[in-house]
Amino acid sequence: METVPLFEVAAPGPAPVVEDVAPQWPAPALVVVVRGLPGPQGSKRHVGNGVMIESSAKVKPWRADVVSAAVEAREKIEGFAKLSGPLRVDLVFSFDRPKGHMGSGRNATVVRPSAPLRPHVKPDLSKLVRSTEDALTTAGVYQDDALIVEYGQLGKWYTTDHGLVDGVLDGPGCTIRLWRIERPKVVDE
């Protein structure tokens, strides 16, 4: 059966030629490697008298680790100014595998075939992102995490993927990369 259009559509005119339609990302504006156990930020609980506290005891030390690592990375860049404008970010969270994922005896360093490929248990990725982005604001990396408009590599991996997956650490933590998003250059024909 043939479909009949409901209205006429004019053929599009020639589009301007745009260099780097799929951006070739230059070196990141900032790279931060955070060592420590990633902690989620999200749920709060009421403790009385209008006081709310984080449900996760891991969030405070994690945010402190991120702030410390970000300030250190920032200070290594001469004349670093807070990032502004739209930003792209990679957040690669690394977690140790539970011992039950590993073999025993001489196979203690071998991942069992039945072990999951990626950490698909708590903490939630979205809550890890929230705590990490807020800590980067505290560290003075950018004015506000609302500047982040795009994620590149984002996820949770096991440390056993170190050396196999870009950004995965050999211990718990996170590799953070930030890029400024620039306008593509229009080329005159």
Instruction: Give 20-29 contacts, CB < 8 A, sequence gap 24+.
Output: 20/184, 20/185, 21/184, 23/181, 23/182, 23/184, 25/88, 25/152, 25/179, 26/179, 28/90, 28/177, 28/178, 28/179, 29/83, 29/87, 29/178, 29/179, 29/180
Q: What does the block give as tokens for 66? A: 């991120």
Report CA Rg, the chain: 22
Ordered per-residue pLDDT tens for the chain, 189 residues: 555 555 454 555 555 554 544 556 689 999 999 999 999 987 666 667 776 665 567 899 999 999 999 999 999 999 999 999 999 999 999 999 999 999 999 999 999 999 999 999 999 999 999 999 999 999 999 999 999 999 999 999 999 999 999 999 999 999 999 999 987 767 766
pLDDT at 42: 72
